[in-house]
Amino acid sequence: MKKLEGRAAVVTGAASGIGLAVAEALTAEGAAVLMTDLDADALGRAAASLRADRRRVEALPLDVTDAAAVAAAADAAVTRFGGLHIAVNNAGIVNRGLAWELSLDDWQRVLAVDLWGVIHGVAAFVPRILATGEEGHVVNVASMAAVNPVERLGPYTVAKHGVLGLSDVLRADLFAVGAPVGVSVVMPGATRTGMNPQGTVEPGAVAANIVDAIRRDRPYVFTDGHSTGSVRRRLEAILSARDQVITS
């Protein structure tokens, strides 16, 4: 998608961090953005700031764990902008603890937002993008945890691995039906956000990579050099395991 001016987008988790940076980057390119977030007050402030800079944005409080609410947000984007071309499934939360000590509620809480929230986004946003008959793009924000498991991050890691797999399947499905819709899965490193104040990567750098991924249809989007060695060693270990198969 070379041209972003005049396109319509929806961004979840847009009140702060990566989501807000993506909304800023897309509107700077001339796109209209429906900003959504669970925190209605923070969302209103963020949207007002962009409007003050003459950006075309609308704000809608949204709980991505509610499938019906996500579908309504998709309809709202179409109603307000006349269509939908870009979806950025970004909303996420995190918790920490040993995998066997975390409660089932702890697991369900993270999976509901970080995995089911993306599933709800795919189910709601993709049909609206397809309905335009024009070029579109879906961006699913995962994490380095999708390719580099870290101790005490079980639910988060499981969810982000799921987002990676979902993105790959969605890309294959769209290709199979000949749809002009790209899919990018984003794997930021330690980004400085409310979830990780000590992060070393700025949200703006992640957003710049996302905009570039939409333009150039990058399927896998790394935004920094975080954990490069660990990721390479893991992938090499998986590949080398093929040589250990017992066939008789």
Domain ranges of the chain: 8-244
Residue of 223, 213, 238 lying closest to 137 (CA atoms): 213
* CATH (one of 3.30.540.10, 3.40.50.300, 3.40.50.80, 3.40.50.720) for 8-244: 3.40.50.720
231 CB-side CA count, 13 A: 15
Active-site residue flag, 156: yes
Q: Residue 226: pLDDT band by 50, 70, 90 thresholds?
A: confident
Name the catalytic one among 156, 162, 182, 224: 156
pLDDT in tens, 159-217: 999 999 999 999 999 999 999 999 999 999 888 777 777 779 899 999 999 999 999 99
Q: How far apart are CA 32 and CA 79, in angstroms?
A: 12
Bridge-based pairing state of the strands 181-187 and 220-222: parallel
- Backbone φ and ψ of 72, nearest 5°: -65, -35
Token pair listed for 106: 């702890």
**Model's pTM, two decimal places?**
0.96
pLDDT in tens, 28-78: 999 999 999 999 999 999 999 999 999 999 999 999 999 999 999 999 999
Token pair listed for 95: 């918790």
Contact predicate 151/160, CB 8 Å = no
